[in-house]
Amino acid sequence: MPIIRVEMFEGRDRETKQTLVKSLTSEMARITGCSEGSVHVVVTDVSKEDWGIGGELAVTKFPD
What residues are annotated to the active site? Answer: 2
N- to C-terminal Cα separation, the chain: 37
Give phi and psi for 42, each to the nearest 5: -115, 120
By beta-carbon proximity to a copy of itself, the closer residue of 54 and 64 is 54
**Rounded distance between C-alpha atoms, residue 42 and residue 2, angstroms:** 11
8 binding a copy of itself? (CB under 8 A) = yes
Instruction: Tell me how many residues contact a copy of itself (CB under 8 A).
Output: 50
Interface with a copy of itself in residues 36-55 (CB under 8 A): 36-46, 49-55
10 binds a copy of itself (CB under 8 A): no
Q: At residue 27, what is the residue type?
A: E
